Structure 1
Amino acid sequence: MLQRVFRAYVGSFSDLRREVWLLAFITFINRAGTMVIPFLSLYLTKNRGFSLDEVGWILTFFGLGSVAGAWLGGKLVDRIGHYKTMALSLLLSGVLFILLQFPVSFWGICAGIFIVMLVADAFRPAVFVAINAYSKPQNRTRSVTLIRLAINLSFSAGPAVGGLIIAGAGYSGLFWVDGITCMLAGVLLLKLLHPKKAVENPKEFISIPKSAMKDKPYLIFIGAMMLFGFVFLQYFSTMPLYYARVHFLTEFEIGMLLGMNGFLIFLFEMPLIKYLESKIRSPLFHVITGTVLVAISFLLINLFGWIGIVVVGMIFLTVGEMIAFPFSNSFALKRAEGGKQGAYMALYSIGFSIGHIFGHNSGMQLIDKFGYTLTWNVMILLSLISCGLLIYVIYLVKKEDRSTIIEFNNS
């Protein structure tokens, strides 16, 4: 029985091109190397002595750099192509990660974080264009899944290794390893991949009957996803501070806890999504379920002082993430069928990027002024508001469907 399940799991990735596997391997090395990010708030408070208020503003520049980087990556892909964009991003971000350990002033670190993310996140749009270029049309979805699994596995390994590096060589060692792995990924890209290996896929031209900015249900959905992203990101900025200051976990223990998130996703996301897809439910129903599970994770942490609750909370957060992200993406793609898919999916990505801009800073400010308990209660409330917006979107979509049926019958 177990062998059949394993063969079916492995078989779902058969027939993928060698270039896609290489791209996944390069992405794994790159993302596993970004070990500085999960420990950034601890580094800034413990090593640089910044207050929570200052750390919040520094992380806001992290979000701004991420948004600007995604925009820049899209522009560069159109100008010089995905291959050169990926190579430049990997090699330059490697150098910048090493240099990031040297600024000491508040504004110097703000500028450094912004520039690093500007260059590093230019990789994101380029890698998805590369998937489209290197994969066959019939294998495109599975190719994207392979890249996602590589990212999740790297996120599992990265923080755990990062905690060991901090314990052995301090934060300086973390910056060096981070930079070297990014540059290594860039070298592997230049050595193993080549734009001439791209598949000649026919270009598709479609009419664009509807604008994403005029799609009311979709805009409300994006608002709900902004709130979800705002709440979800607390686990990777403010929650590590809670682990360290309230439960006195070490960097290594925090790294293992964060790494568990990526490892569980790598093991269980695909079978879980396959099971849920067999249920006749709206994708938004599953997004609501995932959002509720994330809210429960904060509730449990507030209700129980037992140290093991941080593990239970991470499990609830992880299951919620595994359900909410794929099905929210599915809804966005489905909604985009009547319009320009690039515009719809860009808006979807920007929604989570805005969460980066405001989520980290606001969480830090709330903790600084009101403490952890009230902050986690605010996150629960925002999750419930997000659920309410999603329920309203379901109502609007059903209303649209009824109107379409009436118009069809009248015609």
Structure 2
Amino acid sequence: MRKIYNSYINNFTGLSKEIWLLSLVTFVNRAGAMVIPFLSLYLVNDRCFSMPDVGWIMTSYGLGSLTGTWIGGRLTDKIGFYKVITLSLFFGGLGFIGLQWLDSFAGFCIGIFTLILIADAYRPAIYVASDVYSKPENKTRSIALIRLAINLGFSIGPLIGGMIIASIDYSSLFWIDGISCVIASIGLFVLLKPKEKDKIDPDSSIKKEGLPPLLNKLYILLFIIMVLTSITFVQYFSVMPLYWAKEHFLSEDLIGWLMFVNGAIIVIFEMPLVGYLERINISKTMATFWGGVFIALSFIVINITSWSGVLIIGMLLLTLGEMIGSPFSSALALEMAPKGRKGSYMGLFSMSFSISHIFGHNGGMNLADTYGFDTTWWIMVGVLIIVSILTIWLYKLLKKSPTFEGT
């Protein structure tokens, strides 16, 4: 038992103090992010919007995310990640509090767009921060630790959120989410004082190298892979909760528990899994491939039986795919980014998830409304088959490139 414990702890050794502080602030931020998983349920049950209406509201979410990550990446290269993260958390928190007073369709579209634009400027900045404060050999584990903090907060948030909805109401979630973001911004300001710019952002003092991200064909292929994968993944944040409620009759608190399974497993097992995969020297590209395979399996299993217990199996498969694919695809993106352009490269990488919000939620909602949930899940499997083919192609192209050999 002691050997297992020591082996687990060793996965966390060697990471910088700044990475731990960023992870702590990220945890505080995400622990309050209990609005997002229940947003589709809130809009349907509390605000009485139709599923296609919710799809368009979530498209506004994606457009805000796309704009925010682009602006966040640009600002990160110009003013540094510290200011971007702090301002995004603070004003995003105020936005979450204000969201509860919207009641019209147009108001929600505009409000969600503005809020997520501010909130998602955080994403490319946190990637660059993890790159700055990590040694090259610890980069993937640093990203995995920040992801662990996200998932620890995100597992606790929906669990508490579901209980709050069941016992109080939806509006309480907006207050808790907003206040937690403000607390996270204050925590970052207090705990992580910025150093001189040339020390915290080594790329800022050197000439930009390489091509801009939109002209890098290999990076664009990775971007397409991440967009398609994310379109299937975001179904678990909008369409899937409705599927659980309508087809399997789960209440909000049970949905919170099911989402807790995802976060809890990631918290316990992702760092050891990433450490093991690094020790066997797995290719980052092939790890991305296997991540997509397990996500596809999560959709397949829920379609082959009506037994509600299969929802747990599907969640376990999704979680395994996320644990394998996400940290290694992020590390691959950072590795492909040339010096002086990491902010813009990671901004584009973050946009892949934003674009998935634009098309994934709306497409999933309308597919489910028109053809039913089962057909929707098979379509997601088809998309992931395309992803697997593209990922193998990227792997072969990178193997031929001496700059990225082994990725």
TM norm structure 1: 0.88
| 1:106-140 residue CA offsets vs partner (Å, 9 max, x unmatched) | 00011111111112122223334444566678866
1:295-314 Cα distance to aligned partner (Å, 9 max, x none): 11111111100000000000
**Quick one: distance in 1 between partners of 2:213 and 2:129?**
25
2:241 aligned counterpart, secondary structure: helix
- Distance in 2 (CA, whole Å) between partners of 1:198 and 1:237 is 40
**Paired letter, 1:235:** Y
Amino acid aligned to 1:112: G
**2:227 matched to which residue of 1?**
226
Superposed, 1:2-401 pairs within 5 Å as: 2-14=1-13, 16-78=15-77, 80-131=79-130, 142-196=141-195, 200=199, 203=202, 205=206, 208-279=209-280, 281-336=282-337, 340-399=341-400
- Any unmatched runs of 5+ in structure 2? none
- When residues 194 and 7 of structure 1 are mapped into structure 2, their CA distance, relative to the original with a 3 A threshold, is same
**Structure 1 counterpart of 2:54, which letter?**
V
**C-alpha root-mean-square deviation of aligned residues, in Å?**
2.8
Q: TM-score, normalised by structure 2?
A: 0.89
Closer/same/farther in 2, CA of residues 302 and 191 from structure 1, 3 Å limit? same
- What is the one-letter code of the residue matched to 1:71? W
Q: Is the 8 A contact 2:140 2:328 kept in 1?
A: no
Unaligned runs of 5+ in 1: 405-411
| Count of matched residue positions in the alignment of Structure 1 and Structure 2 | 401
Alpha-carbon displacement from aligned partner over 1:237-282 (angstroms, at most 9, x marks no partner): 1100000000000111111111211111111112222333344654
8 Å CA contact retained: 2:73, 2:124: yes
**Structure 1 residues 346-355 or 221-230, which shifts more?**
346-355
Q: In the alignment, is the contact (CA less than 8 A) between 1:134 and 1:198 conserved in 2?
A: no
Shift of 1:315: 0.4
Asked if structure 2 preserves the Cα contact closer than 8 Å seen for 1:292 and 1:387, the reply is yes
Distance apart, 1:198 and its partner CA: 8.6
1:47-90 residue CA offsets vs partner (Å, 9 max, x unmatched)? 00000100000001111111222233334445554444333322
Q: Which letter does structure 2 place at the counterpart of 1:380?
A: V
Distance between the aligned counterparts of 2:332 and 2:33, measured in 1? 30
Give the Cα separation in 1 of the matches to 2:244 and 2:237: 11
Moved more, 157-166 or 269-278: 269-278
State how far apart, in whole Å, the 2-side matches of 1:283 and 1:131 are.
Answer: 17
Tell whether the 8 Å contact from 1:58 to 1:110 is kept in structure 2 after alignment.
Answer: yes
1:319 maps to a residue whose letter is L
Superposition deviation, residue 190 in structure 1: 3.3
Tell me the secondary structure at the aligned position of residue 397 of structure 2. helix
CA-CA distance at 1:163 after TM superposition: 0.6
Deviation readout 1:186-205 (Å, 9 max, x if unpaired): 23333333225999358354
Q: Which amino acid aligns with 2:29?
A: N
Contact kept, 8 Å, 2:86 with 2:188, in 1: the verdict is: yes
Kept after mapping to 2: 8 A contact 1:224/1:390: yes
Q: Does the Cα contact within 8 Å between 2:32 and 2:176 map onto a contact in 1?
A: yes
Contact 2:73–2:343 (CA under 8 A) maintained in structure 1:
no
Counterpart CA distance in 1 for 2:212 and 2:78 is: 25
> Is the contact between residue 299 and residue 377 of structure 1 (CA under 8 Å) also seen in structure 2?
yes
- Cα displacement (A) at 1:181: 1.5
Aligned partner of residue 200 in structure 1, secondary structure: helix
> What amino acid sits opposite 2:305 in the alignment?
F
* Change in CA separation of 1:19 and 1:324 when aligned onto 2, cut-off 3 Å: closer
Counterpart of 1:408 in structure 2 is none
Measure, in 2, the Cα distance between the counterparts of 1:385 and 1:226: 12
Distance 2:157 2:380 in 1: 27
Give the CA deviation at 1:167: 1.1
Relative to structure 2, which stretch is displaced further, 50-59 or 275-284? 275-284
Out of 4-13 and 287-296, give the one that drifted further.
4-13
Q: Work out the percentage of aligned pairs sharing the same amino acid.
A: 48
> Conserved in 2, the CA contact under 8 Å of 1:210 and 1:338?
no
